[in-house]
Amino acid sequence: MKLPSKLAKWLIALGLLHGAVICAGFFTPYDPGEQDRENTYQPPTHIHLVDSQGHFHIRPFFYRYLNREDFSEPPQEDTTKIIPLRFFAKGARYHLMGFIPLSLHLFCSDPGSGRIYLLGTDAYGRDQFSRILFGGQISLLTGLLGAFVTLLLGASIGTTAGYYGGWRDGLLMRLAELFVALPWLYLLFALRAFLPLAVSPLEAFLLVVVVVGTVGWARPARLIRGIVLSAKERDFVRAARGFGASNTYLLRRHILPETAGVLLTQAAILIPQFVLAEMTLSFLGLGVPEPLASWGNLLANLQQYSVLVSYWWMYLPALAIVPFFVGYLGLASALQEHANPHKIEVGVTGDTV
C-alpha cells in the first residue's frame, strides 16, 4: 500500500527528529554528565567566520568567554585566541544507541583548547546542548512507552467491554467515566502522590512511565469499544461466527484490525501529551531525577529566581519539545484526514482536553 504524501512527509520529519535524539552521542560534542566547574553558567558560544582583526576564516571558529567577576555585565569574548571547530573529530567516548562504542562526533574542538557550548552551560558547567539531546532520549521514551501502555490498556478494556457486553461493559464504562471526569493533571498528581518518592533514577523513570501510562486509558477505551460494538455486528463477522469461529479468532482476525486506524491516531495524539506529562512531573521534582537529563528536570533550574533573571539560555530546553509537537500533531491530523477526508478539521488536541 502506498502512503499518502502528506502522511509520508510527517513520518519522515518525525523520523529525522527522533534519529537526532537516538544518535545523540554523535551529534553532541560532550558527555551529558561531564562537568566543567570553571565555566558554570556560560552563555551560548558564538560561532564566527571573521575574526576581531577582520580576517576571514574558511573553518568556523569560536572564542572563549572571559570569566566574569560581575555577572550583571554582558560577557566578553577572549579575542586573542582563535579556537577552530573540528568536524567528524574524535572526542568523548559514548555508546551509540546504548551498545555501539564510538568516539566520533559531528563537531567539537581540539582537546585542551577550550570547549564549545552551543546552548550554554548549567550550574555545574555541563553542556546544555548535549543534555538537551540526551534528555530527549528519556523524555521521548517516556512518551512512547507511556502511550504503548495506555493503548494496550485502552484496547484490551475497550475490546472486553464492547465484545462481551453485559455487566463487564457496564462496570468498565462507569470506571472509564470516572477517569475521564477527573482533570488529567490532578489524576496524574494523585497517582504519583501515592507511589514512593525516594527511588533510584531507573525506578523513577519506570514509575513515571507507569503513572503516565495508566492515566489516559479511558478515552481510547471508549473509542475502541464503539468500533468493536459496530464491528461485531458486521455481516462478515456474523458469517464467520456462524461457521463456528471462536471468540479469539474473531477478535484477532476480524475485529481488532478494524481498530488499527483509531489506535494509530490516538498514539500520535498521546505521545506528545505524555512527553509533556513527563516534563511536568520532572519539572516539579516528581519525575526523573538528576543526574539523568530529561527535558523536565533541565527546566527545573528555572524555579530559582536568580537563574530566571540572569541566565536566559536555561529556558532553551523548553523549546526542544516544540518541533516534536509540530510533527506529532501534523501526523495525527494527516491520519485523521486519511480516515475521513471530508470532515472540517477541528484540531486534534481538541478532543483530548
Partner 1 sequence: MRYFLRRTIQAVLLLFGVSVLTFLFSALAPGNYFDEMRLNPQISSETLASLRAQYQLDRPLPIRYAYWVSSVLRGELGFSFAYNTPVGPLLWVRARNTLLLTLTATLLAWALALPVGIWSAASLGRWPDRALSGATATFLIVPELVLALGLLIFAVRTNWFPTGGFVSTGFETLSPANKLRDIVLHMALPVAALALSSLPILLRHVRAAMAEVLGAPFLRAAEGHGIPRQTLLFKYALRAAANPLISLFGFSLGALLSGSLIVEVVMSWPGLGPLLLEAILARDVYVVIGGVLLSTIFLVGGNFVADMLLYRADPRIRTESAAK
Binding site for partner 1 (CB under 8 A): 174, 177-178, 181-187, 189-197, 276, 279-280, 283-286, 299, 302-303, 305, 308-309, 312, 315, 318-319, 321-322, 325-326, 329, 344-347, 349-350, 353
Looking at the Cβ atoms of 91 and 296, the one nearer to partner 1 is 296
Q: Closest Cα partner for 120 from 47, 48, 45, 25?
A: 45
| Smallest gap from residue 32 Cβ to partner 1 (A) | 21
C-alpha 269/C-alpha 274 separation (Å) is 9
C-alpha 314/C-alpha 119 separation (Å) is 8
| Smallest gap from residue 154 Cβ to partner 1 (A) | 18
Looking at the Cβ atoms of 1 and 344, the one nearer to partner 1 is 344
Looking at the Cβ atoms of 114 and 317, the one nearer to partner 1 is 317
Looking at the Cβ atoms of 26 and 189, the one nearer to partner 1 is 189
Looking at the Cβ atoms of 259 and 336, the one nearer to partner 1 is 336
| Smallest gap from residue 55 Cβ to partner 1 (A) | 35
| Smallest gap from residue 211 Cβ to partner 1 (A) | 11
| Smallest gap from residue 143 Cβ to partner 1 (A) | 13
Q: Closest Cα partner for 254 from 222, 228, 272, 275?
A: 228
| Smallest gap from residue 175 Cβ to partner 1 (A) | 8
Query: Strand (E) positions, 26-76?
Result: 47-50, 56-65
Looking at the Cβ atoms of 10 and 283, the one nearer to partner 1 is 283
The 8-class DSSP code of residue 332 comes to H
Q: Closest Cα partner for 311 from 123, 38, 166, 131?
A: 123
Residues 6+ apart with CB under 8 A from 15: none
List phi, psi (to 5°) of 347: 115, 125
The 8-class DSSP code of residue 127 comes to B
Amino acid at 183: P
